[in-house]
Chains A and B, each alone.
Chain A
Amino acid sequence: MRFLVLLILLWQVCLPALAVPQPDLTALKLVPAQQGGRLKPLDTVARENVQQITGKASFHGEDPLWTSLRWMSNPKDAYAEENVECRNLALKAALGLKAEQRWFSMNELSENKKLLDMQAGLDKVSPDAELSDLDKEFEQLLMRMQLMASIIDGETWKIVPNPKGVEEPWQSLADLKSRLNEPPVAALATVVGELLRASHDKDFSKLQSEEPKLAPALSALGPTPAADKMALEVHYNQLHPFRMAWIFYALGLCPLLFAGRAGKLYWLGLASTLVGFAYHCYGFYLRCNISGRAPVTNMYESVIWVAFGAVLFALGFEFRSRARVYLLAALTFAVAALVMADNLPAVLNPNINPLMPVLRNNFWLTIHVLTITLSYAAFALALGLGHMVVWGYAFQNDQKERLNTLNKALYKAIQIGILLLAAGTILGGVWANYSWGRFWGWDPKEVWALVALLGYLALLHGRYAGWLGHFGLAAGSILAFMGVMMAWYGVNFILGAGLHSYGFGTGGGQYVAVWAGVEGVFVALTTARYRTLRKAR
């Protein structure tokens, strides 16, 4: 326990020490802005902007809001600074950019002759034609450059409220130039001018005395949303609850790996898991409050939710049965899932965006998607346990008692998964009947949910038929999870077809394929070893 506390302290002490000198912009972060169809604090706007331009959540360790302010206050330096990300090697080669460089300045890019030529070429391509991969990457780069220009011009800060209401279109700082004859606008312009001057001069004390003046100057122009909601979101942004969760899960995983069923190490692992779980719960509490809906509306949220479900089930089973096998399986999966969600913003987008109309039904969204994803969680737990069983039979054949416990645990996980997946798929049918007018339409997402269910049903029936033993069920639970992966990830990212198009995306296909291949090889090798062991007996 002392070890843990020490680690946390170290974590808290190290972070600020690494940071570059920068101002503390507490009041500015809370200023509400209208962007992407919702109201969010400037902190979020700046984070999303900086993430998109530089590909990093924090550019050179800077607070993203300070980075944005720096760019806005000093356009000359912003254009000269190497800050626009371009990582694609083929694109860099096509544009004649240095292959080893990651960031490029706006000046360099906008004077690049090849880029201008390529842009003229892209304009000529008809909107119906399919773009090549290179053109797609190029389009992304152009979008980043365009965004960078509008950040510098202050167009992304839509912070000027509309007197007609909070939901009406707001204006950006750039839109204000024509309204300077209105006294409150002139007052606002003075505040903004002072802020930008202080930022330009890097006069941090001046900046910190000026920044609290912006919010009152803005609220003089129209109604603004409640401050506590903005504060909640800034708090969520800064806390990174899901990152804290995986750190504690990882810390809990280390002792559990060596614990076996021995006392102290197990309790240490359990304690760290509970801290991580508390962060995980708190993160969902914050995110639901910010977005006003269940946290399962895109791939990022579902990955985090499935990790949560796996740990939840593991803790539940653990407290009921005291088998001491569930946590290891669940934590391995949860850490892997959360680390991915934390580090792949291009594939798993963490931004909170409004939903498409058909999903705006909290009751069905919550009940259908939560049930389905909880079943994925149960199967993920079964996947982890399946690995432990298969490994046990292949290499630790003497631990009969542990294997028995594991077998029972695996069976329980599959059972709850089947119940939830069947119920969730049917609930999906009920919602589809209510919203689209048909219970079942052979949509790829529906079909793959059914295929995943059929896989596990075949396992259970194969077990009853006597074709599968304990080892077979465990190996099968690893393979059957590929059906879940297909229903969960593959339909949206590989097939890209059907009515569940709101979750579509690209990227990560190769990694998933490699992982599936590794699992296949793992099952084949352990099966071979298990067979030889059995024959030898």
Chain B
Amino acid sequence: MVPVARRGGLLWRSYQFMASIKLAVILLLGLAAILATATFYESLYDSKTAQHLVYGSTWFAAFLGLLFINIFCSTTIRYPWKRHQVGFVVTHLGILFILMGSLQTQLYGVDGQMPVREGSSEDRVILDKPVLLLGPSARNLKEKPVEFRWNPPSPEHPFRIELGNGVTALVDTYLHHATPKMLYLPIENGEPAVHLRFKSSRFDMDQWISSSQGPQQMGLAQVSLAAASQQDIENLAKAGKQPPVPGSIGMLVQGRPLQLPAADFQAVSRPLPESPYRARILRYDAKTQSIDLEVSGPDGSQVHHLSALDSKLNRRQPARGQEPEVRALYVGGEAAEAPSGKSLQLFVTPQSQVYCRLNGAPPQLLARDVPLKTGWMDIQISLQEVLASAASQETYQPFKVRKGRGGGNAPPAAIRLTLEGARQKGPFWLQAGGSMLESSSSQGQPLVLGYSFATVPLGVRVELVKFVIGYDPGTRNPASFQSTVKVNGEEHKVEMNEPFHLGNYTFYQASYEENSQGPQVSVFSVTCDPGIKSKYLGSILLVGGIFTMFYLKPGRRRKQEKAVA
């Protein structure tokens, strides 16, 4: 460049400008300001936001490029170099090498994760880059990189992807951290469901309760829901406060065995799962430990007299109409109560009225939005919504990440999409790394769609033979992790600060997933860094150059010696 540029010309002057120390000062201060701002962004949001906005952005690369040119020109403009400039040249050459190495890493490097379960093996590295997987079958999938986070789609501006065969996927919602949530929608021939709000001075939460869930333990109380006729409610009211029937009832329903708590059938007829029959206890005698169980079907009913003391005493009354295909046995037991003795039974009538029964007391009508005192601490319940016939549907809601946690344990992202030109339109939800969606085009060609992360094939399988955690004496604080992996029949150890090299890839012990039986999954961080040699060379030059500049001062000392002489 030097001989080409004519001194004084435009080219020469721009060369001089690019090589000037004043530009260097401005770039240094500018870089410092940019970086400082970026770290505050990272603290406020997370490291991926900072990466996206600054470190990984094109303008930041261009800024570093400008710095590179400035350093390059300031070095070349001083050519031919004099002795006392050795330190200066070496130092700045070092920075150039480091910048070049960084570019190489950014362009060609691999930085991913590989979780391996104990006893199994993996051959792909998972990158932190979301992709859509699409193809005709789960074995034949293509990866299509998508990043919705910075530009999320909306129902007004959906993201369109052609899937072939005339099918188009329209992604209309993106949640960065999403948790599944059950929604209940009214349908015909469904089950009753109610939406309740539990409120106290300590908490305020809402929850859907449906009959299909069975009794649920919520805090200290057992909560259950059943469909009931107006007659059932009257029976309950007549029965007054009665203790729950202890023990359980064993049944053979159309040849299928079934065992359910007896208290479930008390006073209210309860459907027997996957059968046309219902059952209820008409009478309970604590002294003889016997019950009268009425089993009714669409075409007839029968009363069973069952004794827990001696099954020989069991009798069946003659059936009215067709005899239900049900055999029953009463297994008595300790007075079975909810652990704290607190129970909340809810009944939904065909007229969508909700009755609630607290601790076995007579049923009370639960009006919408009128809080009912439960008498358990200061908890009040109120009815938000009732559906006499509903079905549950899985949907996703945003998950709020606690600040300072960095989102390490936060659930992955989820997208909602509809399929245009497919047999099942949706909407469907896909969670990153979760299960895939199978559908077919209107002509019947199968199609599979998934939301996951990009992967890179390793070329070999890596098997996790063993994973061991060492602890600090007398505590459960992990002191060391060690994985034993098997590659091509040979065993290797991977530890904290002791990586394992495999071809161009390096395996680092990153973390682990543990359950009650001990560690199950060892997570490796797998990298391939083609720029590292350039960076190391640059580092050595940089430090050596600074040292030479500050402390050796070649040339200068000689001058001083000459002056003395």
Contacts and interface: CB of A to CB of B under 8 A. Distances in A.
B403 interface: yes
B313 interface: no
Contacts of A437: 111, 499, 506, 508, 525-527, 529
Contacts of B36: 447-448, 451, 486
A464 B85 CA distance: 14
B35 A360 contact: no
Contacts of A129: 402
Contacts of A422: 542-543, 546
A444 B39 contact: yes
A419 interface: yes
B460 interface: no
A462 interface: yes
A461 interface: yes
B466 to A, nearest CB: 17
A462 B25 contact: yes
Contacts of A170: 473-474
Contact-residue size bin, chain B (C-beta under 8 Å from the other chain): 35 or more
B536 to A, nearest CB: 8
A444 B43 contact: yes
Interface stretch (A103-111, A252-260, A495-503): A495-503
Interface string B448-486: 000000000000000000000000111101111100000
Interface stretch (A30-38, A187-195, A292-300): A30-38
B24 interface: yes
A158 B474 contact: yes
B372 interface: no
Nearest to B524: A437
B404 interface: yes
Contacts of B529: 433, 437-439
Nearest to A468: B25
A498 B42 contact: yes
Interface in B354-376: none
A96 interface: no
Interface string B14-34: 000000011011001101100
B525 A37 contact: no
B39 A497 contact: yes
Contacts of A120: 202
Contacts of A419: 543, 546-547, 550
B21 A465 contact: yes
B25 A465 contact: yes
Nearest to A458: B28
Contacts of B22: 465, 467
Nearest to B219: A124
Interface stretch (B47-55, B242-250, B263-271): B47-55
A451 B525 contact: no
Interface in A468-483: 483
Interface in A439-473: 439-440, 442-444, 447-448, 450-451, 454-455, 457-458, 461-462, 464-465, 467
A461 B24 contact: yes
A468 to B, nearest CB: 9
Task: From A39, A120, A169, A435, name the one whose CB has the most chain B CB atoms within 10 angstroms.
Answer: A435
B28 A166 contact: no
Task: From A168, A364, A419, A437, name the one whose CB has the most chain B CB atoms within 10 angstroms.
Answer: A437
Nearest to A439: B535
B479 A121 contact: no
B497 A36 contact: no
Contact of B479 (A360, A423, A462, A464): A360
Contacts of B69: none
Interface in B377-404: 402-404
Contacts of B496: 357-358, 360-361, 435
Contacts of A426: 539, 542-543
Contacts of A354: 472, 477, 479
B100 interface: no
B546 A458 contact: no
A454 B525 contact: no
Contacts of B536: 430
Interface string B398-429: 00001110100000000000000000000000
Nearest to B404: A496
B40 A495 contact: yes
B283 to A, nearest CB: 42
Task: From B36, B55, B201, B404, name the one whose CB has the most chain A CB atoms within 10 angstroms.
Answer: B36
Nearest to A457: B28
Contacts of B539: 426, 429-430
Contact of B473 (A166, A415, A418, A498): A166
Given A442-B51, A464-B21, A483-B32, A357 B478 contact: yes
Contacts of B31: 454
B255 to A, nearest CB: 45
A216 to B, nearest CB: 22
A90 to B, nearest CB: 20
Contacts of A483: 32
A167 interface: yes
A358 B510 CA distance: 9
Contacts of A34: 473-474
Contact of B42 (A36, A124, A495): A495
Interface string B45-76: 01100110001000000000000000000000
Nearest to B60: A442
Given A37-B472, A442-B51, A495 B21 contact: no
Nearest to B29: A458
B32 A121 contact: no
B103 interface: no
Given A121-B201, A354-B479, 10 more contacts: A168-B473, A360-B480, A437-B506, A437-B527, A439-B535, A454-B28, A458-B25, A461-B24, A467-B25, A497-B47
Which 8 pairs, one residue from A and one from B, show the smallest C-beta to C-beta distance?
A37-B472, A124-B202, A437-B527, A495-B43, A458-B28, A454-B32, A465-B21, A169-B474
17 contacts: A38-B472, A130-B402, A130-B403, A170-B474, A419-B543, A435-B496, A435-B497, A436-B510, A437-B525, A439-B529, A444-B39, A444-B42, A458-B25, A461-B24, A467-B22, A497-B47, A498-B47
Interface of B: 21-22, 24-25, 28-29, 31-32, 35-36, 38-40, 42-43, 46-47, 50-51, 55, 101-102, 105, 111, 201-203, 402-404, 406, 472-475, 477-481, 496-497, 499, 506, 508, 510, 525-527, 529, 532, 535-536, 539, 542-543, 546-547, 550
